[in-house]
Amino acid sequence: IIWIMAILGQIRKRSIFLIIVIGMALFAFVISGVFTSNGGFGANKPIGEVNGEEIDYEMFNMMVEQAQTVYGLNTINAVNLAWNQGLKNQALVQELEKLGIDAGKDQLEQIISSDQSLVMNPLFQNEIGLFDFNKFSSYITQLKSSNPTMYNQWRLQEQNIISLAKQKIYFDLIKSSVTYTNVESNIQYHLENDKVNIEYLRIPFDIIPDSTLQIKDSEISSYLKKNRDLYEKSESREIEYVYIPDVASNLDENNIRTNLEQLRDGFSQMNQVTNSIEEIKGFKDVKDYSEYIEIYSDISWDSLYKTKQELSSDFSDILFGLRKGEVFGPYRDGNTFKISRMIEKKRDGNLNKVLIADVVKEIIPSNESSNTNYRSASQAEFDGNNDLPLNNSNTSLFIDSFESFEKFDAGLPSYTNSRQVIKWLYENQTKVGDVKRFTLNEGYLVAKAKSFNKKSLPSVDEVRDEISQILLNEKKYNFFLNKHKSNNDIESLSKDYDIDLERASAVTQYDPILVGAGAEPYIIGSAFSLNTNETSNILKGNGGIYLVRLISKDTAEDINLAAAISNSLGDREIERISTLIPEVLESKAEIIDNRSLYY
């Protein structure tokens, strides 16, 4: 709800006309309940359902387009934004309806009257300069006849504001139930304000060689099972694939360069009309260079004077230094080859500028190269369908793999337009072993469905390094504890391991950070339990083995701020709950997701 209020805050900064127009924005749809087809925008094939309410495809697609426009997102990211935020809000709208929470004219007037852009607008002020809601209402009524389109947009915005008012009532009810007792407030006050000054010895885990201890696979497996929630892998589908780029070959590039050399110097060609050989002047000799560019260049000429810094080329120094009429190239500039001719130089204010004309040829594969690339992709598809490796006929192709954990993944990393691969992978008719060839923006991808995996724990090999380190640290602590159980004197151990004692001042339990060691809540908490000049037992921290001596403790003076502290804690809890509730409602909702059928 926080981001909803933030959006409302942005709305409040705008003029009345923008407030009306903003009614077509993405979140006006979702928080007004028109996310679903029950919003009155017609019923098309649903893109999904929330607790039995169908999500209207046309309305959802409008939200996607709005997200693309407002946030500059690509299609898949815009779809995910509209879907994720729409679900949370629709689940909340349904909860409000279930509870019978409603808002009317009074709540609408309260919100509108708090908008300074409206309050300060002379159109809506009375004789003594105060905001008059009746004048505002009259203005909206006039819109109904004078500008029906804008009036309808306002009606949608009005729905939006009423929905916000309902949500405010809902969260106000929650707020009234959030309380902190004086005891709780006092505990929190001391967690944040009590401080300790300590001296400590930190012995890094790696001071004990790994070779002295052994981690068995059975121990890793047992740890995995005990910590299933941390390591369990979601359902997934895996493919292996090869990518055949449809790009120009070295021969193609050489031919493009040779063609430009001919355009630079001149060439002969057969005139099909006169059936005779004619000589074509080169770019360096023609007078009408603009017409020459129009005929022979793949890209139109940008006839602007530019400074040296504005010349987009690695050869800007050479280009800027050309004499009038001099030609340079062919040279490569990005995905093109160019020949450039100096047309004119001039002084513009205190800047030197040049006018350069370019004949540009894009570096694209020839028909022969494209046919070769297509045949290579088709062969990989054929081999895959015959249970042969995808690179069986072309060992230069690299077989890669990708595991998808979500049927609405945007695609394979680094491959544009590869959403189609994920869509195919999750189609009902796709089975393990199936092979398909896809045409991407700059090549072909041949994919083979490798495995469909249920929820499972990773193999021991997959997590060996991570879990071995956790178990090693535990064993090192126990090894150290057993070794020094008869001698845990902090000075003695400091001398034995040649590690200096360190000091930390004004440390709190609320922010248990040791400089140079990081977060150590258990170590700091233990320090608070000590008496002055008392040394702890050997302790296991996140970053090593510790002994801690309490130098002094500064206990904050009890002050009569319990109410203020309670309010502050209550505000924090309300903020947390406000974020959490929509997520909880969504997690409990019955959701049908048909996005993959449309995008």
> Any bridge partners for residue 202, and if so which?
546
Place of tokens 């205190």: 350
Q: Can you tell me the mean pLDDT for 74-89?
A: 86
Residue pair 449/432 in contact by the 8 Å Cβ criterion: yes
pLDDT of amino acid 23: 31
Distance CA 263, CA 293 (A): 10
Distance CA 94, CA 51 (A): 9
Residue pair 357/340 in contact by the 8 Å Cβ criterion: yes
Handedness of CA 447, 449, 455, 458 (dihedral sign): negative
> Any bridge partners for residue 299, and if so which?
none
Distance CA 548, CA 538 (A): 8
pLDDT 10s digits, 531-548: 999 999 999 999 999 999
pLDDT of amino acid 570: 66
Q: What is the enclosing helix (H) or strand (E) of 360?
A: strand 351-362
Which range, of 10-19, 136-145, 334-343, 512-521, averages the lowest pLDDT?
A: 10-19
pLDDT of amino acid 75: 87
Distance CA 74, CA 94 (A): 30
Distance CA 467, CA 223 (A): 8
pLDDT of amino acid 1: 31
Distance CA 93, CA 147 (A): 30
> What are the backbone dihedrals phi and psi of residue 499, each rounded to the nearest 5 degrees, phi first?
-125, 125
Nearest CA to 578 among 170, 185, 215, 102? 170
> Any bridge partners for residue 347, and if so which?
352
Residue pair 184/569 in contact by the 8 Å Cβ criterion: yes
The Cβ of residue 287 has, within 10 Å, a number of other Cβ atoms equal to: 7
- Interior angle at CA 445, CA 440 and CA 448, nearest 5: 140
Handedness of CA 445, 449, 455, 456 (dihedral sign): negative
Look up residue 431 and give its amino acid.
Answer: K
Pairing state between β 351-362 and 518-519: unpaired
Q: What is the enclosing helix (H) or strand (E) of 269?
A: strand 266-271
Cis geometry, peptide bond prior to residue 389 (ω within 30 degrees of 0): no
pLDDT 10s digits, 230-269: 999 899 999 999 999 999 999 999 999 999 999 999 988 8
Taking each helix axis from N to C terminus, what angle separates 148-177 and 105-113, rounded to the nearest 10 degrees?
100
- Cα-only R_g, the chain: 36
pLDDT 10s digits, 387-436: 999 999 999 999 999 999 988 888 999 898 899 999 999 999 999 999 99
Distance CA 75, CA 418 (A): 13
Question: How many H-runs (helices) and E-runs (strands) does the chain carry?
Answer: 21, 18
pLDDT of amino acid 42: 44
* DSSP per residue, 249-268: -HHHHHHHHHHHHHHHHEEE
Average predicted confidence (pLDDT) for the chain = 85
pLDDT of amino acid 223: 95
Q: Can you tell me the mean pLDDT for 444-456?
A: 95
Per-residue confidence band for 523, with pLDDT thresholds at 50, 70 and 90: very high
Q: What distances in angstroms separate CA 3 from CA 23, 164, 329, one per listed residue?
A: 16, 12, 55
Distance CA 29, CA 82 (A): 10
Per-residue confidence band for 32, with pLDDT thresholds at 50, 70 and 90: low
For the whole prediction, is pTM greater than 0.85? no
Nearest CA to 402 among 425, 381, 433, 427? 425
Residue pair 211/372 in contact by the 8 Å Cβ criterion: no
Taking each helix axis from N to C terminus, what angle separates 182-193 and 562-588, rounded to the nearest 10 degrees?
100
Q: What is the enclosing helix (H) or strand (E) of 63?
A: helix 57-71
* DSSP per residue, 407-450: TT---STT-TT-HHHHHHHTSTT--TT-EEEEEETTEEEEEEEE
